[in-house]
Amino acid sequence: MSGHFPFSGKANRVSVYAFFEAHDWSLEAQEKYFEAWYQWTKDYVMNDADLKAAKGVLFSGDHFGTHADHDFHLHGYAVATRMLDLGELIKGSILPRLNHDMLHALEHDHEEWIAAANAVATEHPRPEAPEIGRYRHV
């Protein structure tokens, strides 16, 4: 795997948010990106008998993940936190099952998801950073 997915390696909600920040994505663009991963993951899980039995229940509710829709004390991290929760499932349960060709196809899809999120970011630009830094605990 190329390692360019935001949840690759030793990721946390700040590193995933840094991925979003590096792309200069607004919350709408982050949501578009998350939705692409969510749909891909759900489709994969529901089409694999073992994963469906073990993880299918995670896709039965309105939200995904332990931290769904929680910003915690770091403003603007809700999508990054959901992406991390989903990414942990992908990294631990799906990526090890993919062969070289499947990973290559996923990387191609990933490039399209980034392009789609960039298009949303063009329509909905990211607001300027507040005077108090985004990482400051208040």
* Residue 64 belongs to a domain: yes
| pLDDT the model gives residue 62 | 67
Residue partners of 64: CB distance under 8 A and separation at least 6:
38, 58, 82, 85, 86
* Residue 7 belongs to a domain: no
* Residue 103 belongs to a domain: yes
* Residue 130 belongs to a domain: no
Distance of CA 85 to the CA centre of its chain: 8
44: domain range? 13-123
* Residue 76 belongs to a domain: yes
* Residue 137 belongs to a domain: no
* Residue 21 belongs to a domain: yes
| pLDDT the model gives residue 127 | 83
| pLDDT the model gives residue 18 | 87
Overall domain count for the chain: 1
| pLDDT the model gives residue 66 | 59
* Residues of the chain with confidence (pLDDT) below 50: 1-2, 73, 138
| pLDDT the model gives residue 71 | 55
| pLDDT the model gives residue 19 | 92
* Residue 98 belongs to a domain: yes
| pLDDT the model gives residue 1 | 38
